[in-house]
Amino acid sequence: MGSEAQNINMVKDLNVEEGEYSEPVSPTGQYFNSSVLSISVLAVLDSDIPIDDSPTLTLLKDVFLPINPRFSSVMVKEENGEKKWKKVEVKLEDHVNIPIFPPGLSPESYDNHLRDYLSKIAMEQLPNNRPLWNIHIIKYPTSHAAGNVIFKLHHSLGDGYSLMGALLSCLQRADNPTVPLTFPSLGPAPTPKLSVDSNSVLKNIPNVIWSALNTMSDFGWSLLKSTCVEDDRSLIRSGNAGVEFKPVVISTMTFSLDHIKQVKTKLGVTINDVITGIIFLGTRLYMQGTVGGSKKLNNAQSTALVLLNTRAIGGYKSVKEMVETDADSAWGNQFGFLHVSLPELSSVESCHPLDFVWKAQKLIQRKRNSRAVFLTGQLLECLRKYTGPEATAKYIHSTLKNSSMTVSNVIGPVERMALADHPVRGLYFMVVGVPQSLTITMVSYMGNLRVAIGTEEGYIDPTKFKSSVETAFGMILNASKEIV
């Protein structure tokens, strides 16, 4: 009762006016900002030119805050226990950070300073007594950019689709600001269609039965993995309690989408299948090549949580459409996750690189075609209804903790963007506060795929892991060229 009264007093202190914006916090928003989970997203923009920070406050006031009322709101608990977004007066100066690094260093030295700064802000908790976002402006040249702008957004504000839409609302096309940005196709994954022709009903029965069996198997396995079956401790999973509070090292690499499309065409798979195959092979190569790894550790039981956007959409909508439209494309957290086991690698010498792509395709397609993601969503809703959001958050924490890694991706624009007349050379994002030793995220932009890797500091070697993924990409690309 004391914490509830404190929250209510906090609302009064923040000058919330009667009749202003008030919206219930979504269930997922409550899970991601609970006593056991506090997950945020770091979105990093690489600027082509040195950053002039003078228009920052004006941009935030006139462009960023109007995107969504949640950016001007705090999450509070009312007397009945319900959590709501309540609008407050935003002191923009409190949300802007411009760190000071030593002057006159080389770009490579500033790479290290940026890496350490990202690790620092990844561990920091966003204060609950003000809106759950911050912006950081790095005015030092690294080997990738003349400067950086970093948005830290709490995941309770929305999922990757929503937050990317918000970020893009602050940006314009560099070549012509009056023309909207365009994106690669983002259609829903195809699902097999069952014929309703009377002559084909009997032929459909085996498919229906097989789909039902897959659904029950996948849902049962997901339930076990979220409760009592942990992945093995391995070279990519420390299994230590409180890993989400330990420093994380963020490193990135870039791949050509044209090369990935070449592999896609040769193998007859999707771009996501190719990317997942590269990540899985790279992970196994890292585990094989790490000194001190036994054969058991090299092929330890390792599961990836592959995050899916569950909206039935064909591309990014405007933020206004996200906020006002129907639930299929609405703002918020709308995603599910698939438990996908990493294929084993007996040895590097006997490795068939393309097998990892085909296995990734088979596993993900099978799980997509089952209804396990839907059943998991229903389970979470039942847990929330009968045990409360805190208990449900503990279930999600266990789901993350018991697996080895999370893989997620979002789509970026085809054209070069600009932020307040600063051309954006590249961008990447990272999910932080996750109870795992390894997190991998991807975003496409201007014909390239930027892969970001978050690793537990002192446990996973980020340089060696990055090298392993790059090697896997080369192996799969070269193997695909041999296909006639």
Encoded tokens for 321: 């459409």
Quote the pLDDT of residue 163. Answer: 80
Give the span between the Cα atoms of 205 and 387, in whole angstroms. Answer: 38
Encoded tokens for 277: 């195959």
- How many other C-beta atoms can be found within 10 angstroms of the C-beta atom of residue 233? 14
Name the residue with tokens 């040769």.
Answer: 266
Quote the pLDDT of residue 247. Answer: 95
337 strand-pairing partners: 307
Helices (H), 388-419: 389-402
Opening angle at CA 415, ends 306 and 423, nearest 5: 105
Give the span between the Cα atoms of 86 and 23, in whole angstroms. Answer: 7
pTM: 0.86
42 strand-pairing partners: 152, 430
Phi, psi of 67 (to 5 degrees): -60, -45
**Three-state DSSP class for residue 96:** strand
Report residues of the chain scoring pLDDT below 50.
1-19, 186-196, 198, 310-334
Please name the residues in contact with 191: beta carbons below 8 A apart, sequence gap of 6 or more: 368, 369
Give the span between the Cα atoms of 484 and 481, in whole angstroms. Answer: 8
Quote the pLDDT of residue 385. Answer: 87
Query: 278, 355 in Cβ contact below 8 A?
Result: no
DSSP 304-316: EEEEEE----SSP
Long-range Cβ pairs for the range 321-330 (8 Å, 24+): 322/162, 322/165, 323/68
Indicate the angle between helix axes 353-369 and 462-481, nearest 10 degrees: 90
Quote the pLDDT of residue 190. Answer: 47
Quote the pLDDT of residue 290. Answer: 63
Opening angle at CA 324, ends 318 and 326, nearest 5: 100
The number of helices, as runs of H, and strands, as runs of E, in the chain is 14, 16
- CB neighbour class for 96 (10 Å; exposed up to 12, middle 13-18, buried from 19): middle
